[in-house]
Chain A
Amino acid sequence: MNAVAVRMFDADLLKLRKRRGTLAWVLVLALAPLVILYTVKAIQHSSTPTQNGPAGGTPGFTDGLRLLCLFFGPLAAVLVGVEAGTGDASAGVFRDLVVTGRSRVALFASRVPAALAVCWTVMLIGYGIILLGTYSLAGNLPTPDAALVLNGLAFTLMATGVVCVVAVGFASLTTSKAASITALIAWQLVASPLIANISSLGSARDGVLSQAIAHFSPVHVSDRGGNVAMGQGTGVLVILVWVALFLALGAWRTRTMDT
């Protein structure tokens, strides 16, 4: 990145960092379910150890990763991406940024790394909680090896990063925070699983982003999280198309809209 890009990245990061309300919701969505998961499982194990195994170990790692990467992490990523995509427009300052003479596409582009930086920081904290729960609450259970831990980290960053980038593009396209959050969460929580479970749609279901992402999970994904079989190449292609499409739409809208 050149000096201008770094300055603009810093500026966008500042806007996201200081958005305390959104950031609090992002932290709650991404981290609270993990804390609750390990706490409840630990309590269950301590009260009835014969019926409930330890909260950690490889099973605990799998549960935590699924929760972070396929359920609550993407929702948190949507909040970050939408905030980055609509923050300037909803505050009415986008026109003041345009008046600086800086290219509109550059103004759009600087939102993406800033959103990823915030999203990934939160996800890294979440992943830290998973590792803490996995190893400290393992009891007599086997624990993930280094390769699985690294794969899990990469998957966490990929799964949430892709959703975050798509959210930036989508929100920049609609320029409405409420509409973007509603549409993306409805897609993520309702439409995607629904489509994935309509077997008559056949290979058309390959186009559902969450299915393509789940395909790369290093741990077993539940039926609800991913039941569409697809090839590695198809999965990569679907993810790239989603990212490229929404980045292009967001950039186009930012470049052409009246302010």
Chain B
Amino acid sequence: MSGPAVSPAHDPPGPPRSGPAIQTTGLTKRFGERTAVDGVDLVVPRGSAFGFLGPNGAGKTTMIRMLLGLTHASSGQMSLLGHPVPADRAVALQRVGAIVEDPRFHPYLSGRENLSIIAAARSPAAAARIDPALQRVGLRERADEKVKGYSLGMRQRLGVARCLLADPLLLILDEPTNGLDPGGIQEFREMIRAMVEQEGRTVFISSHLLDEVEKICDAAAIVDRGKVITQGPIAELAEGEARRELIVGVDDPDRAITVLQGLQQVREARRSDEGLRVVLAGGPEMAAEVNSQLVSAGLRVMRLEPVRHSLEQRFLEVTSRLDETPEEVRT
């Protein structure tokens, strides 16, 4: 998925230039007795890649369908690019491209013809974007073949090309790497990052693949059972807000534990395979004080480094604590 860059995204005359790309307040969707999306408050900043992370059945696709006007919300407010939806839906969606679930096409039409059908429903300029979009996703050579002969990966690319017809300020992609081979996933990541970093677009990616979100996105929200459990920059999400852990290597671990347990900056200190595992009572700046106290106690500190949590660890942690209150989970 390469080719000539599509020009950087600029706001159209209509949509406001300020405000988050997506904002929801108390957004709820009920199907009879079942609540699929439960009071979601979400803020997706402009110019970022934002992951909407959750297990299958967490309510991700329902949330996206509400944002795009494919289904009605039971309650709550939402806006896209500063426009309230559904009140201003037509204007808001002018510069939004989306793939919901797997990209679908008329199989008996060519890739180019399928794009021309969507372009007809968009602005007159959309038709002129068909060729650049096809080139951008690497399908120009096969654009005149019928879609029924396309692989799943090619359909995903064609779906992205369809999004580009809007010259989107915001792309909403639901499980976009489904069906892509490893090479295709890598190309997809690079394309998304280029859209965000070089063209200033906002990309909202729903996925159950933690590794995918961690590699592509700047920020994410973790959702489960219809609720947003936590949201923020990837690094902060992975670390958690309050937990700060260190691996400490010293010449006398037993004495070091005694020293550490006497410090108010330390919540917990214990042995582990890697050395001493120290949980700080406050932020990472306390690591310097811990080091200083250990040295003052005559211990030789050979290693002191923060524990790096992956998003996967954090995800499993928060989704395994769902029976607790949201406030408890966030800490």
Query: Which A residues are within 8 Å of any B CB, using their own CB?
Result: 3, 7-8, 10-11, 14-15, 18-20, 87, 91-93, 95-103, 107, 258-259
Q: What's the nearest-Cβ distance from chain A to residue B306, in Å?
A: 43
Q: Are B94 and A258 in contact (CB under 8 A)?
A: no
Q: Which residues on A sit within 8 Å (CB–CB) of B94?
A: 101
Q: Are A97 and B105 in contact (CB under 8 A)?
A: no
Given the interface pairs A3-B124, A100-B122, A101-B94, the reply to whether A20 lies near B108 with Cβ below 8 Å is: yes
Q: How far is the CA of A19 from the CA of B97 in the complex (A)?
A: 27
Q: What's the nearest-Cβ distance from chain B to residue A194, in Å?
A: 37
Q: Which residues on B sit within 8 Å (CB–CB) of A102?
A: 90, 121-122
CB 8 Å contact bits of B287-300 with A (1 = contact, 0 = none): 00000000000000
Q: Are B90 and A101 in contact (CB under 8 A)?
A: yes
Number of interface residues of B (CB under 8 A): 35
Q: How far is the CA of A7 from the CA of B90 in the complex (A)?
A: 18
Q: Which residues on A sit within 8 Å (CB–CB) of B307?
A: none
- Asked whether any CB of chain A lies closer than 8 Å to the CB of B98, the reply is yes
Q: Are A98 and B108 in contact (CB under 8 A)?
A: no
- Asked whether any CB of chain A lies closer than 8 Å to the CB of B68, the reply is yes
CB within 8 A of B96: which of A3, A87, A99?
A99
Query: Which B residues are within 8 Å of any A CB, using their own CB?
Result: 65, 68-72, 89-94, 96-98, 100, 103-109, 113-114, 116-122, 124, 162, 166
Write the chain B residue with the least CB distance to A88: B106
Given the interface pairs A91-B107, A93-B105, the reply to whether A258 lies near B118 with Cβ below 8 Å is: no
Given contacts A14-B117, A92-B104, A101-B92, 15 further A-B contacts (CB under 8 A): A3-B124, A11-B117, A11-B121, A14-B109, A15-B106, A91-B106, A95-B100, A99-B93, A100-B118, A100-B121, A101-B94, A102-B90, A103-B90, A258-B70, A258-B72
B contact face: mostly helix, strand, loop, or mixed: mixed
Interface centre among A98, A101, A103 (most CB of B within 10 A): A101
Q: Which residues on A sit within 8 Å (CB–CB) of B100?
A: 95-96, 99
Given the interface pairs A98-B68, A103-B90, the reply to whether A11 lies near B106 with Cβ below 8 Å is: no
Q: How far is the CA of A208 from the CA of B158 in the complex (A)?
A: 47
Q: Which residues on A sit within 8 Å (CB–CB) of B68?
A: 95, 98-99
Q: Are B108 and A97 in contact (CB under 8 A)?
A: no
Q: Are B120 and A11 in contact (CB under 8 A)?
A: yes
Given the interface pairs A95-B100, A96-B162, A98-B69, the reply to whether A15 lies near B109 with Cβ below 8 Å is: yes
Write the chain B residue with the least CB distance to A93: B104
Q: How far is the CA of A103 from the CA of B90 in the complex (A)?
A: 7
Interface centre among B97, B104, B120, B124 (most CB of A within 10 A): B120
